[in-house]
């Protein structure tokens, strides 16, 4: 994947570049707003990482300009401003996700990859999800594994749905908090871990190979058993 980093802090940019390269992505760097806008306008990138405060043209304006020019490349906004209104403004400007500095690189990577997948996924209406022998019917709201029905609470259903939509990829705790609970902050206790263990007990216990894995230091991943 090709990613454009628009970030004025060279050290952060270098670190992002290095990290992305290690994860197998190609990353370019633009140090200010106008340059970033010009590069992004070429339309060759799969995703953009845009810092909010940039010299020349601020990050939100860059994204706004791109959207006005119908460049729909998914954009992840990086910002030191973490207030709700800041985030809402960022998303209104056309950003697809918002990450508050400082962030864990694993968090950024997971979100970026989710954005790219979302951009590539053009199938508009999904009514069934399947990962290995785990199946979810979104209309009937039924989950089965190996043909056996699994009884899930509404929130567990949403949790599993999110994991299945991102099957094979790392999903972080904050991604789950945001999309399943609408919580844009981290509760002190690691509550998500316990929800995951509950879910794991329901979908993995009694079945051959485990599917729901904890990725140390990063998050969780639902994978088809090898």
Contact residues toward other proteins (CB under 8 A) are 9, 11-12, 15-16, 18-19, 22, 53, 80-85, 87-88, 91, 96-98, 101-106, 111, 114, 118, 138, 154-155, 157-158, 161-162, 165-166, 175, 178-179, 181-185, 187-189, 191, 194-195, 197-198, 217
Nearer Cβ to other proteins, position 185 or 210? 185
Q: What is the DSSP letter of 206?
A: T
Q: How far is the CB of 116 from other proteins (least distance, A)?
A: 13
Least distance between other proteins and beta carbon 57 (Å)? 17
- Cβ proximity to other proteins, 55 vs 208, nearer residue: 55
Minimum CB separation of residue 133 from other proteins in Å reads 23
Nearer to other proteins, 98 or 220 (CB): 98
Q: Residue 146, preceding bond cis, omega within 30 degrees?
A: no
Phi-psi domain of 168 (left: phi exceeds 0; alpha: psi -120 through 50; beta: other): left
To the nearest whole angstrom, how small is the minimum distance from the Cβ of residue 226 to other proteins?
A: 23
Judged by CB, which is closer to other proteins: 38, or 185? 185
Is 223 within 8 Å of 209 (Cβ atoms)?
A: no
The answer to whether the CB of 149 falls within 8 A of the CB of 202 is no
Cβ closest to other proteins, residue 147 vs residue 182: 182
Phi, psi of 121 (to 5 degrees): -75, 105
Contact 28, 55 (CB under 8 A): no
Residue by residue, DSSP assigns 136-178 as EETTTTEEEETTEEE---HHHHHHHHHHHHTTTS-B-HHHHHH
Least CB distance to other proteins at residue 56 (A): 16
């Amino acid at each position: 994947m090709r990613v454009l980093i628009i970030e004025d802090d060279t050290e952060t940019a270098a670190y992002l570049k290095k990290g992305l390269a290690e994860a197998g992505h190609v990353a370019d760097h633009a140090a200010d707003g106008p340059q970033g806008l010009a590069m992004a306008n070429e339309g060759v990138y799969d995703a953009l990482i845009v810092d909010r405060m940039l010299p020349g043209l601020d990050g939100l304006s860059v994204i706004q300009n791109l959207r006005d020019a119908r460049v729909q490349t998914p954009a992840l906004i990086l910002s030191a401003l973490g207030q709700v209104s800041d985030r809402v403004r960022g998303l209104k400007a056309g950003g697809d996700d918002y990450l508050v500095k400082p962030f864990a690189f694993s968090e950024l990577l997971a979100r970026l990859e989710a954005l790219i997948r979302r951009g590539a996924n053009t199938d508009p209406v999904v009514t069934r999800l399947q990962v290995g022998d785990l199946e979810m019917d979104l209309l009937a709201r039924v989950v089965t594994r190996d043909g056996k029905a699994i009884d899930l609470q509404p929130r567990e259903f949403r949790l599993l749905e999110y994991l299945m939509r991102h099957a094979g990829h790392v999903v972080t705790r904050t991604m789950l908090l945001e999309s399943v609970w609408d919580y844009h902050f981290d509760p002190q206790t690691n509550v998500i871990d316990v929800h995951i263990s509950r879910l794991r007990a329901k979908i993995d216990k009694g079945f051959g190979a485990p599917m729901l894995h904890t990725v140390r230091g990063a998050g969780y991943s639902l994978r088809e058993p090898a």
